[in-house]
């Protein structure tokens, strides 16, 4: 398994042909006041699986502050990986759209990805004071 894309961005979509489109990847938000609400963002994910990894996989995304407090409930899901026998690998695209994200404090937050119960990747999000 290989994480090809794991990004916090302004928007992301997956079209009917399976193409992942990502707009405006970022890791920092500037805010004048706290608490604050960030109106819209997305988490974009593309995972590549090898032949021997076909089948069902559990995917979990946690968005937490440095104290481990969840900003959103854990996003848990299952994906079924199946692709033609003559292919060496196949991929899965996932998009998690976030609306009205409440931010209580300046500082660092973390978006953590687990696949089949194993931590695979982590993204920082820095909330900075706009002066």
Task: Quickly list H helices, 1-131.
Answer: none
Cα–Cα distance, 36 to 125 (Å, whole number):
14
Cα–Cα distance, 93 to 21 (Å, whole number):
10
Q: What is the mean pLDDT of residues 64-68?
A: 89
State pTM to two decimals.
Answer: 0.92
Q: What is the pLDDT of residues 75-103, one digit of tens each?
A: 999 999 999 989 999 999 999 999 999 99
Domain that holds residue 61: 2-129
Q: Which two tokens stand for residue 127?
A: 């909330």
Q: Which two tokens stand for residue 76?
A: 């848990």
Picking from 80, 101, 103, 106, the residue whose alpha carbon sits closest to that of residue 91 is: 80
Give the domain CATH number at 36.
2.60.40.10
Confidence at residue 33, expressed as pLDDT on a 0 to 100 scale: 94
Q: What is the pLDDT of residues 9-63, one digit of tens each?
A: 999 999 988 899 999 999 999 999 999 999 999 999 999 999 999 999 999 999 9
Cα–Cα distance, 45 to 58 (Å, whole number):
14
Which residue carries 């033609």 as its tokens? 84
Q: Count of domains in the chain?
A: 1
Confidence at residue 66, expressed as pLDDT on a 0 to 100 scale: 83
């Amino acid at each position: 398994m290989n994480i090809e894309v794991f990004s916090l961005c302004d928007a992301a979509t997956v079209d009917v042909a399976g193409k992942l489109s990502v707009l405006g990847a970022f890791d920092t938000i500037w805010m004048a006041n706290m608490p604050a609400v960030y109106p819209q963002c997305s988490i974009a994910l593309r995972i590549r699986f090898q032949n021997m990894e076909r089948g069902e996989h559990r995917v979990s995304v946690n968005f937490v502050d440095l104290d481990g407090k969840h900003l959103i409930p854990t996003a848990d899901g299952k994906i079924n990986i199946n692709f033609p026998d003559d292919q060496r690998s196949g991929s899965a695209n996932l998009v998690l759209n976030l609306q009205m994200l409440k931010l209580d404090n300046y500082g660092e937050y973390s978006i953590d990805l687990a696949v089949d119960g194993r931590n695979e990747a982590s993204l920082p999000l820095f909330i900075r004071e706009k002066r």
